[in-house]
Structure 1
Amino acid sequence: MLANALWAGWYLFSTVVMAAFAYVYWTNRNVRGLEYLLAAAVLGSLQSLLYLLSLVAPTVTTKVIFWKLFGVLAAVVVFLWYLFVVAWTERAVLARRSTLALAGGPLAVSVGLLVTNTAPAVPGLHSLYWSSASVAAPGGFFSPIVFTTGPAALAQSLYSLGLLVGSVGLLVAFTLRSDQRLYRWRNTMLVLGGASGLLFAVGFAFLDLPYEPHPLVYVLANSFVVLGVVRFGDYDVVSLPENSLIEAIDGAILVYSVDGTVIELNEAAKLVLGLTDEAVGRGIVGVVELAEPLPGVRGSAAGAAASPAGVADLLDGHEFTTAINGGSRTFVVRVSRLDDDGDHLGWTVLCYDVTDLRQKQQELDLLKQVLSRVLRHNVRNDLSVVKANAQMLAEDTSGLQAERLQTIMDKSDNLLDASEKARTVEKLLSGERTRSEFDVTELATEAIETTRREFPGVSFETDLPDTCPVHAHWAVSHAVENVIENAAMHNDSDDPQVVVTADCGDDHATLRVADNGPGIPYKEIEVLERREETALEHGSSVGLWLVDWIVDLSQGTIEFENTDRGCTVTLDLEAAIPDADVDDEEATDLNLGIGADDD
């Protein structure tokens, strides 16, 4: 009695679980081939209910009718699983109508023999499926029907097992394909689903159970399949939980396979591109055509790309603006290849939100234009007028007034020098960021000659090699000249001296400029090392900022060392190997979106 109750409970449980699996398949029906599993789950749930009704039916005639319906659905479920495997593994030859007809023909014949078989109180045409049918426990409320099976039933069982073996083999071969590494765990779950169903079906055949074990097999097999679809989704990388991974990415992301099928997109992609879950399983060209925010790559343009690789080239670098939550946002598309151990698996399409960056670039452009106009024209021209008038007045005065006029001229020179440095900063923003080859010895020699003419009272001592080639930014000459000029300009010693030396090694070249002046204020050095200014601590030397920036763009380093009397500035740059080209990829690019404007 207890055993009967347990079996009845199991069939009810199987009916509910298979209905739940059908719901899961329905929600994921856009995944390739899952519509066949949806139909199989619905029929599997109905099978469990039909068999339960056959157990409680009052007469053997009614039991046989329910069992015949159960047997018909069993054959259909096996064929639906086969259809799913053919669609999933994309076996074009097996998907032909003629091939499918050959595969389903034997099952159709066996179903026909089942329906037309003779049964108690139900006349038939033959007894090939079973020769006799009786109730195991007559008069019992919960009693299965017992058959004496015939050759047709045995042939159907063997053929169904063969079809299952073949489908599992197709899944195994598909999983082992190199282009399926991206879907490894999901495919493994499908293999386990088919294999577990096959093994349990064979095992139950030898146990001679009084009740039909098909519902148990269905639940077990579909559990693996649902785990593969829900847990690992339609896209997985080895064992990473990809759904959480792509949702955590800051941006809209869409993934499509090497054959052009969209296999995943996150919620941000749905919002930004105006897509839905229906995009998964479709071709990338069709999805791009549906994406309203991509006017530049829709319609004929996307269609002309023809191939998945062509779409990748077409989308990469595209910029578009769309309305998001009532506001306007700008995005840039970046497409990257997905590779695993040299095997090309597909592409990821990532839409970066660059709205704030574009706004900052516009503000920087405006600021650059304003500062350039003010410093280059207004301030520079007005200071030139102030200095010229001060010079004319100084020629006709003496004493204290002459000293004051000299102060005006000196401050004018300082501001004009700052204006020139600001123009250099503008050129740095607008010019190329690539490195070229320069001779440190030549740069230092030219800077010393220029500074010596400007400060004739300063004594210069040098120890420079004949040549010292380095890879540096194009503005490195400004950095060398500024360091040497600064050492002379601020040297208040009674006997001002500047020592310039250089060492050129295989990997690095070092330029040292030492003086016996007052040194660089520590607050200036701290601001440079912190690389930011505050309201209370800020630098006063545009030149030091300029030198630090140029050395950084040259991929070098700069050090300041104050002593009891004087300061040593050390520039360390990459040595240029003879006949070696600088790799373009080493170019430092701030990506400010500002074109060259050096006038």
Structure 2
Amino acid sequence: MVVPPWPVVASFAAAGGTALLVRYLWRYRGKPGADWFLASLSAQATWSLSYGVALVTFAEPMRWALEVLSWAAMAGTGVYFLAFALAYTGRGGVVDRARVGFAAFPALVGLIGATNPVHGLAWVDFEVVRVLGVAGATYDMRLWALLSATGGVLLITVGSLLLFDTVVSYGPLYRREAVAVGLSTVPPVAAVLAWLHGVGPVPELSFVTVAFLPHVALDAYAFVGSDMFEFHPATRRVGERAAIDDLGAPVVIVDEQRRVVTLNGAAERAFGVEKAGALTRPLAALLGEEGADPAEAETATVQSGGRRRVFTVTTTPLTDAGGTHVGYTVVFQDVTDERRREQRLGVLNRVPRHNLRNDMTVVQGFTEAAAREVDDPAVRDMLGRAESKAAELVALGEKARTVERVLDSDPRAERVELADLLATVRAEHVGAADANGGRVGTEGTAADEGAEGATVTVEATDAAVTADPAVLQVVVGTLLENALEHAGEAPTVTLSAERRDGGVAVTVADDGPGVPAHELDALSAGAESALEHGSGLGLWLANWGATALGGDLSFDTREGTRATLTVPDGEKREPTGES
């Protein structure tokens, strides 16, 4: 049995290994870059097979034809590998725009080689020589052949650099696999360069197909048994681009000198500019801000399309993979309508409430005076009702002031002893809380009579919490006021506090009929409606205050009403004071 020379065996082995890899990866057709990678491997297999056959073909016409086929396959291997790298790393748009060129380049190289006897652009003085027991070939390459081979090397090099760039920027996912694919091109590229420049002991032979053996091994390591085509960098790259382009808010990327690098469609529409005209312009000039730097401001006002728009500005520094500061991402949020609505609500809120408080105080005073001057019981009763309603409206106005004063103020974080706070709340609503003057119950408890026979008991141990004391006091006071008002005659109300799950739970429990379901439904829905509405601001104030404290407010109405305020304890963080 005659054993073929080792260059022939190596070429056929490279062709067979590549064909097996193509068969394995065939399942990934349609994935980003997969079709182009399969095309590159197919061209590589064709190159290895045709050159292996050429090595045992001494007939010059057939040997020449196989050389032409090898050149066409070499061109396909390089250009298809670049297309794979572009599509795999999320740059498929480049490939789509040049798809015809990528596909036609190998055919063009083959056509130039096939018609070389006519024009001589590829090579001259083609001759078959026997070397190492195989059919080598010598010829002088012309400009076209040199450009084709050099171009193929450059294409593969660029593709490898794209993969290495992905390794650096994409993180640890498939890092070793991407490195293996990039390194796999090194042996064949080195062999091509050596062959082009006649480096080596046998310049009549190309050892590129031999170099395909480690190339195939590295590709097999990268792809066989991994999901490299299932999770690919294209998802991240396209996703990052879509996150900016599809974002409804204007986004502008600027460099360190605040010059526009790119912007999304929303920014073009909002600022009345086109991307091509906006690039390299200062961001301040783009927005019409004279001498101001919008990236350093909290808001920006833009006049565009005959409208004056107000934007909040969020600026985030951009750094490259090495941690070098390269620019900023500036996000604009249109708050024009919100600002106008806030202004209208502010006016509609403060003016009626101010008039309500002042005018209803006057009404209440005149009603009281009139009631003292009349003798008719029916008229006195009507005046008493009017006085009562006036007092309720004045109290409603005061509660609205409390909502604005407490919930719109800067938050604080202080250590609050709940026993003291509950005693203060009790004193505010049922009279002075003097331990010596009130009824003393069990240890740590005290009670006072007040609110038309109501009994309010405080039960608190050493529980404490780090929170805003003003908001906490208002919430508990509002719940107590609600219990005293709606729990019926001579109610019994208990204020208690206990540690619970890393925080505290403050409970206001009464023995009344329970909070009506429609008022709790309004709180759950988050909005008042014509069919489901609360009787006042009390429960809303308690609910908003609980949210401001970062806590939760719940109600149990099975036996009376148990309103429980749960507040997380910020004991481990330093008090922030006024922010």
* Paired residue type of 1:344: G
Match of 1:581 in 2: 574
Q: Would you say the 8 A contact 2:483–2:510 is kept in 1?
A: yes
Residues 180-579 of structure 1 mapped to structure 2, 5 A cutoff: 197-199=189-191, 238=233, 240-248=235-243, 249-250=246-247, 251-253=249-251, 266-268=264-266, 274=273, 276=275, 287-289=280-282, 292-296=285-289, 314=295, 317=298, 319-321=300-302, 323=304, 330-337=310-317, 344=323, 349-355=328-334, 357-376=335-354, 378-398=355-375, 399-428=377-406, 430-453=408-431, 455-465=451-461, 468-472=464-468, 474-493=470-489, 495-504=490-499, 507-564=502-559, 566-575=560-569, 577=571
Q: 1:275 to 1:12 in 2, by over 3 A?
A: farther
**Secondary structure of the equivalent of 2:514?**
coil
Cα separation, 1, equivalents of 2:373 and 2:307: 66
Larger CA deviation: 168-177 vs 502-511: 168-177
* Paired residue type of 1:450: E
**Post-superposition offset of 1:537:** 1.3
* Paired residue type of 2:282: E
Q: Would you say the 8 A contact 1:391–1:409 is kept in 2?
A: yes
Q: Would you say the 8 A contact 2:163–2:182 is kept in 1?
A: no
Q: Would you say the 8 A contact 1:179–1:345 is kept in 2?
A: no
Percent same amino acid among aligned pairs? 19
Cα separation, 1, equivalents of 2:312 and 2:378: 64
**Secondary structure of the equivalent of 1:361?**
helix
Cα separation, 1, equivalents of 2:179 and 2:274: 26
* Paired residue type of 2:323: H
Cα separation, 2, equivalents of 1:17 and 1:6: 16
**Secondary structure of the equivalent of 1:555?**
coil
- Counterpart among 116, 134, 139 of residue 54 in structure 1: 116
- Name stretches of at least 5 consecutive residues in structure 2 with no aligned partner: 1-60, 85-90, 129-135, 220-230, 432-449
**Secondary structure of the equivalent of 2:530?**
coil
Q: Would you say the 8 A contact 1:511–1:570 is kept in 2?
A: yes
Q: Would you say the 8 A contact 2:253–2:263 is kept in 1?
A: yes
Cα separation, 1, equivalents of 2:72 and 2:185: 22
Normalising by the residue count of structure 1, what TM-score does the alignment of the two structures yield? Answer: 0.57
**Secondary structure of the equivalent of 1:501?**
strand
Q: Deviations over 1:483-532 (max 9, x none)?
A: 11221122323x33222222246832222222222321111112112222
**Post-superposition offset of 1:475:** 2.5
* Paired residue type of 2:392: N
**Post-superposition offset of 1:541:** 2.0
Q: Would you say the 8 A contact 1:168–1:191 is kept in 2?
A: no
**Post-superposition offset of 1:413:** 1.2
**Secondary structure of the equivalent of 2:241?**
helix
* Paired residue type of 1:407: R
Residues 166-181 of structure 1 mapped to structure 2, 5 A cutoff: 175=165
Cα separation, 1, equivalents of 2:430 and 2:185: 86
Normalising by the residue count of structure 2, what TM-score does the alignment of the two structures yield? Answer: 0.59
**RMSD after superposition:** 5.8
Q: 1:549 to 1:170 in 2, by over 3 A?
A: closer
Q: 1:540 to 1:360 in 2, by over 3 A?
A: same
Cα separation, 1, equivalents of 2:81 and 2:464: 74
Q: Would you say the 8 A contact 1:473–1:553 is kept in 2?
A: no
Q: Deviations over 1:396-424 (max 9, x none)?
A: 33523222222111111111111011112
**Post-superposition offset of 1:540:** 1.8
**Secondary structure of the equivalent of 2:366?**
helix
- Name stretches of at least 5 consecutive residues in structure 1 with no aligned partner: 25-30, 69-118, 120-132, 137-144, 225-235, 280-285, 303-312, 590-599
**Post-superposition offset of 1:243:** 2.5
